[in-house]
Chains A and B, each alone.
Chain A
Amino acid sequence: MKYENIILLVLVIIILVAPMIMYNGLGEDQGMFGGSDDKGVDVIGELDHSYKPWFESIWEPPSGEVESLLFAVQAAIGAIIIGYAFGYWRGQSKKD
């Protein structure tokens, strides 16, 4: 089907935009859109008040900006590899 991938992408966008429309105007200050990983940590704290993490990350991004840089780098590395491979295959299939 010609438009299959576009339809699939639109569906993904709908799934991801819907929460932001549903909770329009709410944000971090209202306790929204936090990470579920952090909530897991909160539950551990509730269950065991005395639990202290016994090991700390050997390095942490010094700020949210640096963290977002490194997340973008992670996505970019993956995207470059996927784009390179698919571009290469597409070129190959056109030559044949």
Chain B
Amino acid sequence: MHIMEGYLPAFWCIIWYVIMIPIVGYGIYQIKKITEEYPETKALVAVSGAFMFVLSSLKMPSVTGSCSHPCGNGLGVALFGPAITGVLATIVLLFQALLLAHGGLTTLGANCVSMGIIGPFVGWIVFKGCNKVGLNTKVNIFLTAFLADIITYLVTSIQLALAFPLPSFAAAFPKFFIIFMPTQLPLAIAEGLLTVIVWNGLIAYKPEVLEKLNAITPQKA
């Protein structure tokens, strides 16, 4: 899902930065607020960021014969929402842009909007909704992580088709969609399963913090 350095026209680089900056700014404010209110969430913010660090470094083979990587954005968004996840994604993407020539500084805004904000946002909506109707929390976190991953790549396809609508957006979009989505499907399932494993650990050791974050309801712990 990384759009490579220089591969978005300057106009679109600016657009995505303009969307990203206020949300990431709000995320930084939220991290300050929540870690002051509940200092025990600090470790959870770190674990969420670390999970994203690990998962986005793993390039996995898919049944399509291409390789791609999961995003690791489902855990952070289930616990803290999309703004904080945007901050964590920015850190990961900066590391990869500067040290690995993966993604880039000009495309950081676009990549952060897909992996840090919109993908997680959709996962978050589903997580909150399923929480409300009382879906099993493990099934819920699986769905959340799966969707956050898949939607991230959907957004990347849209971003590329918007930047290169040749001859039209409708013609370009399927070309990008087809290289990302089939490859990503099994990897998103793998990401969902891995997120459940970490979730199980959090439920076992830190149920009280998860309750404070409204990530689980007390009777389900």
Check if A19 sits within 8 Å of B194, measured CB to CB.
no
Check if A12 sits within 8 Å of B99, measured CB to CB.
no
Residues of A in contact (CB 8 Å), total 57
Contact of B6 among A39, A54, A60 (CB under 8 A): A54
| A22-43 with Cβ < 8 A to chain B | 22-23, 26, 32-37, 39-41, 43
Check if B100 sits within 8 Å of A53, measured CB to CB.
no
Check if B54 sits within 8 Å of A82, measured CB to CB.
yes
> Which residues of the other chain, B, contact A39 by a CB distance below 8 angstroms?
66, 179
Check if A60 sits within 8 Å of B65, measured CB to CB.
no
Q: Mark A54-83, 1 if CB is under 8 A from B, else 0.
A: 111111110000010011101101111110
Check if A34 sits within 8 Å of B57, measured CB to CB.
no
Is the C-beta of B215 less than 8 angstroms from some C-beta in chain A?
no
Check if B5 sits within 8 Å of A57, measured CB to CB.
yes
Check if B179 sits within 8 Å of A53, measured CB to CB.
no
Is the C-beta of B95 less than 8 angstroms from some C-beta in chain A?
yes
Check if A23 sits within 8 Å of B50, measured CB to CB.
no
| B62-85 with Cβ < 8 A to chain A | 62-68
Check if B6 sits within 8 Å of A37, measured CB to CB.
no
Known A-B contacts A8-B197, A15-B186, A43-B179; the reply to A71 vs B100 at CB < 8 A is: yes
> Which residues of the other chain, B, contact A41 by a CB distance below 8 angstroms?
4, 7
Chain A at the B interface: mostly helix, strand, loop or mixed? helix
Would you give the shortest CB distance from B185 to chain A, in whole angstroms? 10
Check if B194 sits within 8 Å of A12, measured CB to CB.
yes
Instruction: Report which B residues bind A (CB closer than 8 A).
Output: 1-7, 9-10, 43, 46-47, 49-68, 95-102, 104-106, 156, 160, 164, 166, 172, 175-176, 179-180, 183-184, 186-187, 189-190, 193-194, 196-198, 200-201, 204-206
Instruction: Report which A residues bind B (CB closer than 8 A).
Output: 4-5, 8-9, 11-12, 15-16, 18-20, 22-23, 26, 32-37, 39-41, 43-44, 46-48, 51, 53-61, 67, 70-72, 74-75, 77-82, 85-86, 88-90, 92-93
Apart from the given pairs A15-B189, A43-B176, A82-B54, 19 other A-B contacts in the complex at a CB distance below 8 Å: A12-B194, A15-B190, A32-B65, A33-B66, A33-B67, A35-B59, A39-B179, A40-B179, A48-B166, A51-B7, A55-B6, A55-B106, A56-B5, A57-B97, A74-B99, A75-B57, A75-B58, A79-B54, A93-B204
